[in-house]
Amino acid sequence: MYHSNNTSGFRPSRVRAGPTTFIRDLPYSVLVNVAKQLDPDGTSTTWRDLALNIPISSMNPNPRFTNNDIQHFELSTQRGKSATEAVLQAWATSNVTAQDLVNVFHKMHLPKLADIVLPPEPLPQRRFDPPSYRETMGLDAEPSKAPTHQSTGFQQTASHVSSTQSMGKREPIEHDSMSLRQPTENCTTDISEHLSLEELSLDKNLPSFSYSDLSELTSNFNESCKLGEGAFGSVFSGNLHLPKHKPIKSDARKIAIKRLKLDAPDLAVAVAEQFKKEIHIISELEHENILPLVGYSCDGPELCLVYDFMFNGSLSSNLQGCREGTNQLSVAQRLQIAEGSAAGIEYLHNKKLVHRDIKSSNILLDTETRPRISDFGLIRSVISAPETTSTVTKNPIGTPLYMAPEAIRGEVSTAMDVYSFGIVILELLTSRAVYDRDRSPPSLLDYVMDKCDEQQDAIMDLIDNEAGHWRYSVAMEIYELSSDCLNYRRKTRPAMSKVLTNIRTMREKMH
């Protein structure tokens, strides 16, 4: 979150969002710029006007938000936060798109805000052909004239694909003849003639899939196999039968396929960077709490990344099931998930990597409810692993409700993952939604703080007793650990190694 009077000069991402991009997947810098125009009181149009102009649906033009809702949003300003952001977060729960937001801005006669969300396409130039994928990567230049791309860590402006919201919700289609093939020396794409693995510096030890096989596996990437969608592409499920002699786990039958879009020239470099990043970085990670990368495909019109399929979906969907009474996670399972997630994050930090988007929807559960950290589209390296060291990015990005305060200023450090994990701990303890517009205040963190400001043990009234018996001492220690992780000052937050040690101690007390 950020202060409503933010003047730090955030800029919209260079990556262009599309009309069908979900509002929740817009670059955070876009929301910052919109909020800067609507948050200040005394202007001709404010966040209240936005809230009153948002319809119930495209078929029902009546205002979606009531006066009671607006009073809830008002609380954000009283806490020094953005009311505009609160409005958009509440609306985003309905899977609305960037085009829906643009329509509202046009209705309000605010074309400049509409252009922030969906910048107008540049005027076509005469005799101009969009650059090919090879050209955007500088692959067709003479060796002595090839452009040099200075490394800036990882691509930060990309709205990433979330492969975790509903993974495991649908059964993959059956396909008995599908098999995995070993990497080829030259892997060519339809849009980048003869794009070789050596040119892209891909990992030749990582198995490759043919695009045609993946297309067949998903019935030509049919909607019935889709698990999720974002600005960079979509995620599909598939069922894979592997030969026993292939170097893949024998139980890796079901897979999740992240298909990255390459149809927009202005996105080609960003997509390629994400593709290379996940192959180079994630393929080298070996930890039981990290979602493994199974392979990739680069011989078709779009690049694909292939992961193990997690049968129990995301922690977020499981907690939603707990709230709805359709699922339950026991106290023991929650502590197991907390420990495993902390172990996975600690492993990344030891590798001098910051995930930057830790949240319950990016924690997947396998058949034994063991957690796997997933979705590495925002991962970034840091010079030094300790949480006291940080780097700076001009493009703050992440999920607002989980973002550490300093992340809004562009600071990147391992401490930001610790903060996000503090929110996850509160979710595990209470089973309550991170954002609930029918709750006052709607943010889970603000809600818990309001209840526990004067008396810490008030948390006992908020815990999910349907999970079973919580020992008072353990429940209080979990809450105190979450509070430590959520400390406003990043340098006073515990290192993830300490968080992990504390959680393991709690698990022992429960036995």
Q: 203, 308, 357, 446: which one is catalytic?
A: 357
Rg of the chain's alpha carbons, rounded to an integer? 23
Locus of tokens 């973002």: 403
Quickly tell me which residue has 């107008």 as its tokens: 120
Omega prior to 386 cis, within 30 of 0: no
Q: φ, ψ for residue 50 (rounded to 5)?
A: -60, -50
For 239, phi and psi rounded to 5 degrees? -120, 120
Tokens of 275: 């593709």
Q: How far apart are CA 77 and CA 202, in angstroms?
A: 48
- The rounded distance, in Å, linking the Cα atoms of 30 and 17 is 10
Beta bridge partners of 381: 353
On whether the CB atoms of residues 39 and 61 are closer than 8 A, the answer is no
DSSP string spanning 127-146? T--PPPHHHHTT-SS-TTTP
Q: Does residue 357 carry a catalytic annotation?
A: yes
Instruction: Report the distance separating Cα 203 and Cα 279, nearest Å.
Output: 7
Three-state SS letters, 224-272? HHEEEEECCEEEEEEECCCCCCCCCCCCCCEEEEEEECCCCHHHHHHHH
Within the chain, how many helices (H) and strands (E) appear? 16, 11
The DSSP bridge pattern shows strands 353-354 and 380-381 to be: antiparallel
CA distance 434 to 312: 20
CA 76, CA 82: separation in Å to the nearest integer? 6
Cα gap 57→344, rounded to integer Å: 40
Token output for 128: 């101009």
Residue type, 349: H
**Three-class DSSP labels, 401-437:** HHCCHHHHHCEECHHHHHHHHHHHHHHHHHCCCCECC
Bridge partners of residue 233, in order along the sequence? 230, 260
Question: 378: closest CA among 336, 315, 420?
Answer: 420
Contact 239, 175 (CB under 8 A): yes
Annotated catalytic residues are 357
